[in-house]
Amino acid sequence: MVSFVDYVKIFAQAGTGGNGCASIRREKYKPLAGPDGGAGGHGGSVILRVNPQETTLLPFHHRPHVKAENGQAGMGDYRDGRRGEDLFLDVPQGTVVTSEDGEFLADLDSPEAQLVIARGGVGGMGNYGLASAKRKAPGFALLGEPGEERTVILELKSMADVALVGYPSAGKSSLIAAMSAARPKIADYPFTTLVPNLAVVDNPAARYTVADVPGLIPGAAQGKGLGLDFLRHIERCCVIAHVVDLAAWDPEREPLADIKTLERELAHYASSLDRYRPGRDFLPPLMERQRAIILNKIDVPDGRDMAALMETELAKLGWPVFEVSATTHEGLKELAFGLAEMVQEYRSHLPENDPERPVLRPQPKSARPAKTYTIETTTIEGTPGFSVRGEQVERWVKQTDFTNDEAVGYLADRLANLGVEDDLLKAGAQAGDTVVIGDPDTGVVFDWEPTLQAGAELLGARGTDSRLYENTRRTNQQRRIDYHAWMDAKKRAREELDAERESGLWNDPGEAD
């Protein structure tokens, strides 16, 4: 059964905002006392939170799909909907978050670190919040905005100071058990350690953590053995200690050659190592970090003789060498102090963590806000058209109830006040052109009609917008034109009658008698 996971992909979906309420207050003697619809609650967000008690990403391996709570819809009597609860996902310290396409998002390397990976949708406003001096009783409300959907990759990289690397059965787990209170699995067969083990070493000189990386063999860079999957846990380590097994009498192996072989495998891994993380630029390259050599099992027969034979060759490397025995605890005190000095030397060069004080500077407010949208020509279902993109305008479209004509008119007013119609005219749009707001494949497509006048005073009954229907009522100008045409026709008729009378076409009945 899987007990340790350091790489998972999760699918996060934030909560949808609640819809606003369109309601009219009714009281005694006041059947229509005004709008009282409340706003919908905001949807819950999905948030990653560092929990020092967590050591694995196993919970997300079994449940990769997570969803936050939706916001509650607004209600009458000025009652707003309840906000959806945020969903907090506890992750171990040292979790690196990247997007599905490899974009770096965050490095959660501090105990208080949090990251919002999917933001909840905004709740829609009720008709009480939409009321104004000109639109006194709106017959519509805004819909809740859908929550974000995002796929992210979580990669755990242990927060250790010292990494123990070596061949299988070199005694790495035994060293951790002897130097700390950790109790990893120890057995007399290779690849006993299948997952990294972390231990805390309390030393008078320094308190530091040690990571036991599963055993490496030649060809690990090509996937042999356990491969290099667990080498991500040494990326944050400032000291890499090679554990050499003095009891290995394999004729094809030689301790010094083992060190060189592992260094080559580390070099293969370092070539693709992304060490340039924000806040981690002070870490030197992997192949330039401090090294140490631990000659383990000197208590076995001929163990000291083997260490003496390698003394000259190991001295050429220039790395500190420690002769220890995890069984008898010989040399462990010197090893603990030696590693502590190396860790302290690294920590002394770290930049001081002096957080800057935030400086708040008021921004000048213009009469008309800056444009937050773009207009481009595009092809929509094989027809030339225009695409309007922008977070604000797309949110307005998502919150519009297109089954309510008054809500559609309200959207037209907002777009006109923002300047979208003017910019469409400047871009060359004409009446009847196809316009899409949002993504060309999933956005809202409509035929643009720039002749609609904006203003709430032009609205009709609640829930309707007379601008969306054909209006046959004559304007004052048309009435004046019709009146003058009628008067001119009447004048011409009188002139024709007078001309006929003068020509004798009409006879006087008295003269005829």
CA dist 180 and 177 (Å) reads: 6
Is 193 part of any known ligand binding site? Answer: yes
71: left (phi over 0), alpha (psi -120 to 50) or beta: beta
CA dist., res. 379 & res. 436, Å (int): 10
Q: Which CATH number fits domain 7-156: 2.70.210.12, 2.30.40.10, 3.40.50.300, 2.60.120.380?
A: 2.70.210.12
* Nearest Cα residue to 123 out of 70, 86, 85: 70
Annotated ligand binding at 373? The verdict is no
Nearest CA among 212, 217, 222, 213 for reference residue 250:
217
Domain ranges for the chain, please list them.
7-156, 162-275+284-349, 374-448
The answer to whether 136 is a known ligand-binding residue is no
**Lowest model confidence (mean pLDDT) among 170-174, 297-301, 364-368, 396-400:** 364-368
To the question of whether residue 171 is assigned a binding role by annotation, the answer is yes
Pick the CATH number of 374-448 from 3.30.360.10, 3.30.930.10, 3.30.300.350, 1.10.760.10: 3.30.300.350
Burial level of 441, CB count in 10 A (0-12/13-18/19+)?
A: exposed
Q: Flag whether 296 is marked binding.
A: yes
Residue 326 pLDDT > 90: no
pLDDT at residue number 171: 77
Which residues, 6 or more positions from 88, have their beta carbon under 8 angstroms from its beta carbon?
47, 48, 49
Angle at CA of residue 93, ends 87 and 94, nearest 5°: 115
Cα–Cα distances (Å) from 430 to 1, 434, 439, in that order, read 66, 9, 21
Given a cut of 50, whether residue 275 has pLDDT beyond it is: no
Average pLDDT across the chain, whole number:
80
The response to whether 401 counts as a known ligand-binding position is: no
Any idea which of 168-177, 255-264, 292-301, 468-477 has the lowest mean pLDDT?
468-477
Is 450 known to sit in a ligand binding site?
no
**What is the distance between the alpha carbons of residues 93 and 2, in angstroms, rounded to a whole number?**
20
Q: How many CB atoms lie within 10 A of CB 508?
A: 9
pLDDT at 219 over 70: no
* 170 known ligand binder: yes
Q: What is the DSSP string of 244-288?
A: EETT---TT--HHHHHHHHHHHHHHHHHT-----TT-TTSPPGGG
169 marked as binding residue: yes
Average pLDDT over residues 8-31: 90
- Please indicate if the annotation marks 184 as binding a ligand: no
pLDDT higher than threshold 70 for residue 87: yes
Establish whether 166 is an annotated binding residue: yes
pLDDT-derived band at 453, boundaries 50, 70, 90: low
Confidence of residue 256 (pLDDT cuts 50, 70, 90): confident
167 is in an annotated binding site: yes
The amino acid that residue 278 corresponds to is P
Q: What's the topology of domain 162-275+284-349?
A: Rossmann fold (3.40.50)
Closest by alpha carbon to 166, among 187, 191, 188, 201?
191
172 is in an annotated binding site: yes
Confidence band of 228 (pLDDT split at 50, 70, 90)? low
Q: Is 195 annotated as a binding residue?
A: yes
Q: Mean of the pLDDT values across residues 145-154?
A: 93
Most confident of 174-183, 188-197, 260-269, 286-295: 286-295
pLDDT confidence tier of residue 415, bands split at 50, 70 and 90: confident
Identical fold for domains 162-275+284-349 and 374-448, yes or no, is no
More confident residue, 440 or 91: 91
Say if residue 213 carries a ligand binding annotation.
yes
- Chain-centre distance of CA 470, in angstroms? 46
Confidence of residue 61 (pLDDT cuts 50, 70, 90): confident
Pairing type for strands 374-380 and 383-389 reads antiparallel
pLDDT value, residue 15:
95
194 is in an annotated binding site: yes
